[in-house]
Chains A and B, each alone.
Chain A
Amino acid sequence: MKKGILIFAHNNRQIDYARMSLVTGSLAKKNLGVPVSLATDPSTVEWMRESNIFDKASEIFDHIIIVNRPQENNNRKFFDGKENFVAPFNNGNRSSVWEITPYEHTLLIDSDYFVLSDNLSKYWQVDADLLIGSGYNDIVGESRTGYLDRYISDTGVKMLWATTVMFKKTQSTKIFFELVQHIKDNYRHFADVYRFNPLMFRNDIAFSVARHIMYGFEQDAEYSLPPIFSVTDKDMLYDVDANKFTFLITPTMNDQYCITTVKDKDVHIMNKQSISRNFDKLMELV
C-alpha cells in the first residue's frame, strides 16, 4: 500500500505556512522515511516562487497539489509570546484530503508539527482505517491543560486533535471525511447539538464530532495516534541546534518565562512567528 505524508499550507499576509511546511515536510520525510506531499493554493505557490522557495519545495515534496484556497471568514488571535495579532485561519478544506491525497495510506500533519522521531512510523502497521491524535499533551503538563483542550464543550464529546491524522483510503474513511465536511457546512447546527463555541471553525472539533457519530455516539475505544505534545503560542521557540529545540515557556501563562529543551520528540509548535524567526537554523537540520 503506497503510503505518504500530506501537509496543507495556505499562506496569509502574516503567516508563511508554505515556508514552515518546508521544514516540517523535510523533518517528517527524514524521520519517517516516506514521501511527503504539499497541498496548497495558487496564490501561495506564487508567493513561493517570488520568495525563491519553490525549487526547494519541489525537491522536498513528492507532489505539490494545487487546490482552491478555502474561502472563509475564519479569523483567530495568534500569540507570539506576549504579543498578539489577528490573522485568517484558512484550514477549512481538510475534509478534501481523502480526494486529493496521492497515497493509499496517508499521514496528515499540520504545518507546525515537527516530526523529530520515528514514533509515528509504528502506526502504519495498526489495523485501523482511521487514527487521530487522541488528546493534548502540554509541554508544561496538566496544569496548563484546560477543560476545552480535553472536551469540545462543557458537556460534549472528548476532543481529538486533528494535528495528526492517519487514514487508509476506504469507503468508511470517505464517509468520515464527507461527514467532516457536512459538519463544517452546518457548523452552527452542530454547535447547538454538541454545545461548542461556533465562532471559529476548528478541524479538531469537526473531526471529534464526526468520529463520535461514526462510532455510534459512544466513547471511541479504538486505536488512536499519541496525544499531541504541544508548545503554546504564548511560549517561544528560542533556538534550534542539532535536533534540540530550545523554548522559552511560560508555565503559568503570565510574564514569567523559563527555558526548556526538547529532543527526539515530535512537537507541535503553535507560535508560528517564532518558527519563522528560526527558519534558517531549522533548515540546517534537514
Chain B
Amino acid sequence: MAVAWIGNREAPVEHAAEHAAALLASSRCPVISFDTDIHGTRAAIALAERVGAAYDHLDGKALALEAALFTDKGGMFVAPGEVRRRADVIVVVGELPEVHHGLVAELAETAPDFSSASGRAFFLIGNAETPTLPLGDTRKAILLLCGADLGATLAALRAQCAGRQVAARVENFDRFVGALAAARFPVFLFSSHTAGGLALEMLQGLIADLNNEGRASALHLPVSESGWGAVLASTWMTGFPPRASFARGFPEFDPWRFDVARMLAGREADCHLWISARESLPLPESNGVPLIVLAKTSKPVTGAEVTIAIGEARVDHDAVVYSARTGSLRSVAARSASQQPSAATVLRLIAGHVAAEAPSPC
C-alpha cells in the first residue's frame, strides 16, 4: 500500500519527506497546523523552530480563548477526580463539547462520597437554545437565565450573589442561592465551546467571590483534548501556548498574528504543513499555497504537493494524550497497532532533511 505521494505520484516516504523539507526550508513564511498527540506536537514544534514557522492547533480559535483565560487572568480550578468525589452542586456554563457529555452523565449517576448528599443538584447557565444536559430520563438541570448572553447571565448571577441590584433578575436565582447555601463544594463546568472570554472571566469573578466565605471551583473541560495537550507541550517547550512563531529565530507568542487560519486566508503564509490523523476532519485545501499533508489516507490529498500517510494516535500506535477525565496526560496503548508511522516519526524524518547544526531535540 502506498504511504506517500509527491503530487499525485507515489513516492517512498523518505523522498516525500525530503521534498517536504525542501518546500518548508525554501519558504519565507511557513505555517504548521496540527491536531495530534503529545509526541507529534513536540515534533511539530521542533520542526517549526528549525524552519522558522508559525504554528497553531486546528481548533486554535476556541483554544486561544481558553489559553487566554490563563495568560490574562488565571482563576480557580479543580481536578475532575475531585469533582466526582466532592461536588454536590454542578453548574454547567453554556454548552459543553460532546466529548464531555459522558462525564456529565457520570456525575448525574454518582453521588459525591466526600459529602453526605445523596446526589448532586444540576444547574445550567444558558438560554432557551442551550441543549439539555445528558442527565438521564428522571432528572433535569435548573436553567439559570438572564437574557440571551451567557456573559450577561453570569454577570447578573455574580451581582445578585453579592447582594447588588440588577436591572434584570436571573431566572431561578432563589433555587440557585438555596443550593449554594447547602453546598459544601459547588463546581462550575466550562469550556470555550459557547462561552466567550468575558464570560469565562466573569465566571472566575463569581468563583472568587464564593471563595471568600466558602469553597467553589471550576472544572476546565477543554474544547479539544488534543488541543489542550498541545497547549501544555508548547508551553513547556517554548514558554508559550500556541499560537506562536519562530519566524524571527526565537519563539514569539501572539494569538492574533500567528493565527494560522488568518495567515493563510490573508496570503501571509507561503507554505502550509497540515497534520492530523483524525478521519472525521475535512482535509485542507491548497488555495494556491504549497501544501504538505500528513493524514490517515490511502490516496494523495487533492492539491497537496506532498502527502504522507500517518497512523492515528491510540489506534495505530501507542500515544501520550491529554485526558479531560483525569485533567492530565495519559499513556494509551494502540487499539489496533499497524505499520502506519506516527506523526512524530514522519515529522522527525522531515526535520532530518532540513539543514541544521544539531539533531532535532524531539
Q: Do A and B come from one complex?
A: no
Chain B residues within 8 Å of A, Cβ to Cβ: none
Chain A residues within 8 Å of B, Cβ to Cβ: none
